């Protein structure tokens, strides 16, 4: 059994349809965010990974796909 995640990274689209991300602590408070929107999803993911070098240890949620992408909760292969 893995330890519970302390923080969650969420990738989502804003009202303008552009990509953003935020990082929430276990208490639900946002502790960091993209600070800007991205037209390309890949750029948002790159920015999220760059700003959060520990991203592989965090719970990852992609709201756009309505998927939780953390390896221990998502057994389905992603395209």
- Going by C-alpha positions, the residue among 12, 17, 56 that lies closest to residue 30 is 12
Residue 77 within any structural domain of the chain: no
The pLDDT, as a whole number, for residue 73 is: 41
Tell me the pTM.
0.74
pLDDT, one tens digit per residue, over 14-72 is 999 999 999 999 999 999 999 999 999 999 999 999 999 999 999 999 886 665 555 44
56 φ, ψ (degrees, to nearest 5): -70, -15
The number of domains in the chain is 1
The token pair at 1 is 């059994």
Residues 46 and 2: their CA atoms lie apart, in Å, by 26
Residue 28 maps to which CATH number?
3.30.160.160
Question: β-pairing, 19-25 with 7-13?
Answer: antiparallel
pLDDT at 12 over 60: yes
pLDDT, one tens digit per residue, over 57-73 is 999 998 866 655 554 44
Its domain, for residue 22, covers 7-68
Edge-first strand order for the sheet with 67-68 is 30-33, 19-25, 7-13, 59-62, 67-68
């Amino acid at each position: 059994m893995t330890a519970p995640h302390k923080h969650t990274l969420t990738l989502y689209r804003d009202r303008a349809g552009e990509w953003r991300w935020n990082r929430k602590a276990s208490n639900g408070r946002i502790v960091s965010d993209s600070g800007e929107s991205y037209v390309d999803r890949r750029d948002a993911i790159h920015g999220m990974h760059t700003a959060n070098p520990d991203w592989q240890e965090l719970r990852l949620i992609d709201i756009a796909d309505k998927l939780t992408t953390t390896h221990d909760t998502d057994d389905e292969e992603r395209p």
